[in-house]
Every structure is written in structure tokens, then in C-alpha cells.
Amino acid sequence: MSDDLVFDPEGGMPRLREIMRRLRDPETGCPWDIAQDFASIAPYTIEEAYEVADAIEREAWGELKGELGDLLFQSVYHAQMADEAGLFDLDDVANAIADKMVARHPHVFGNESNAKSAEQQTRDWEAVKAAERAGRAETGVLDGVAQGLPALTRAVKLQKRAARVGFDWPSTDEVIDKIVEEARELREAEGSAHREEEFGDLLFVMANLARHMDIDPEAALRAASAKFTRRFGAIEAALARDGRTPSESDLAEMDALWDAAKAAEKG
């Protein structure tokens, strides 16, 4: 078997597909790759998607090409396993998404006018997706919202679906009132199971508030985590200048250093 394609720097997708096929070859492939299945690879797929999002958020354009390649490799990996099982192959995957995009954009690929507002195109998109769900016998309003989504994202999607049929608070005021109610119930909860349930209820309503305020809760939480990391790093740097670590400090001092870092950021 020739290695010309595997080592061709301009080999593109055929090269990547051949590399994947060789990795999974039951006789000459990599033992680790051979041992994998859809379930074992799925967590890596999710991780790679987040790394793409992280590179974009940091505007690390030099890293984005590699991260997109890692994510693409995940699709190739799943398609190779599906091909081995006689389910479908990578061409089927590409054709499926191409068919979907053409069907969902009649204003670009069909006879419909593209002189529509973004809002009208969104409504049309949702109508097409609803018809697709009906074709898959998904009759419930909440059917088809993927279980594997990040919890906050899935909560927002569930709430959006319910809102389409009128199950929604009319304004943010009612949502905030519900947050106060859920916080009180969490404070009063007894036992770990009850506290976990009430905490989940509070998070679910917080996701609803994000939806009402047109905020992506995942993005907001990532930004808050980044801010925490940045400011705690400033605490560590300040203590290091004194030859100490956080474990050699106390809460009062670290709180003061946190406030200093916060003030410095605000300029």
C-alpha cells in the first residue's frame, strides 16, 4: 500500500480520510483508535467544539485553523466508524447537511425572494425545522432538543420551544420574581437531594431570564469565569512579588487584592 497520499501536504480531505482509515485498520492500525466506538469518542467531539469556541472568543486566529482541524477530524472519525458498521460514510454526511441547507434556504437556492428581514427568515427557518421534526414523528413541542447539549443551552432551547406555544412569562419582571421565589426555596431546602433539586430550579429560571434578556448564558458564564481567572491571577502575582502564595495569605488580604485588581481593570 502506497503512503504517497498520507504524506502529501496538499492531500486535503482524501488524505485525512485515508489517515483515518489507516488508524482504524484492524490489522495495522493504532490499537487505541481501533478500540474506540461512538460513545467513547463523543466526549472528545464535544471538547473539540469548545476549543474552537475558545479560540474564537480569544480571537486566537492563529490557533483557529488547528482547532477547526481537530473538530473536523471528529466528524471524519465518526463517519469512519459508521462506514465500518455499514451505516453511512463521510460523503453521506456531507450530502445530508448540503441537502438540509438547500431545503432550509429557498430564498437562496429556490424561487423564493431573499428580500426578507432577518426576523422573517428566522421564522421561516423555524417553520422548516418544525416540518422536519414532524417528518421524524416528533410530535411533542419539546421533542428533538438534544440531551447532550450543555445544561444551560438545553434549558434555553426547551424554554424557547415552550414559548412558541405561549407557555412563557410576558416580561422579565415575572421571571425575576420567580428567581426570588426559587432562591428562597433553596435557602429553606433540607437534605442534599432537595437542595440539588431547588438549585437546579434556580439555574433553570436564571437561564430563562437570560433568554428574556437576549443573553447567551453559556457565554456569560464563560466570561465570568475568565474574569475570575484574570483577577485571581492578579492576586497571585501581587503575592508573588512579596515572595508568598495564596495559601500563605488570608481572605481579608486576598479580598483587598481582588478589589485592587477590579479597580485596575475599570481604569
Domain boundary at 49, 76, 103, which? 103
Question: With 90 as the cut, is the pLDDT of residue 113 above it?
Answer: no
Q: What is the pLDDT confidence band of residue 107, given thresholds at 50, 70 and 90?
A: confident
Any domain includes 228: yes
Question: With 80 as the cut, is the pLDDT of residue 248 above it?
Answer: yes
How far apart (Å, rounded) are the C-alpha atoms in residues 262 and 249? 19
Q: What is the pLDDT confidence band of residue 61, given thresholds at 50, 70 and 90?
A: very high
Question: With 70 as the cut, is the pLDDT of residue 73 above it?
Answer: yes
Any domain includes 178: no
Residues 185 and 198: beta-carbon distance below 8 Å: yes
Domain boundary at 56, 74, 103, which? 103
Any domain includes 234: yes
How far apart (Å, rounded) are the C-alpha atoms in residues 127 and 129? 5
CATH of the domain at 79: 1.10.287.1080
Domain boundary at 44, 77, 103, which? 103
Q: What is the pLDDT of residues 182-226, one digit of tens each?
A: 999 999 999 999 999 999 999 999 999 999 999 999 889 988 999
How far apart (Å, rounded) are the C-alpha atoms in residues 202 and 185? 9
Any domain includes 261: yes
Question: With 90 as the cut, is the pLDDT of residue 78 above it?
Answer: yes
What is the grid cell recorded at 22?
489507516
How far apart (Å, rounded) are the C-alpha atoms in residues 207 and 150? 12
Mean pLDDT of 169-191: 96
Sign of CA dihedral 83, 86, 87, 91: positive
Q: What is the pLDDT of residues 136-147, one digit of tens each?
A: 666 788 888 888
Secondary structure of residue 143 in the 3-state scheme: coil
Q: What is the pLDDT of residue 116?
A: 72
Domain range spanning residue 76?
A: 12-103
Any domain includes 33: yes
Q: What is the pLDDT confidence band of residue 115, given thresholds at 50, 70 and 90?
A: confident
How far apart (Å, rounded) are the C-alpha atoms in residues 43 and 21? 21
Domain count for the chain, please give it.
2
Residues 207 and 155: beta-carbon distance below 8 Å: yes
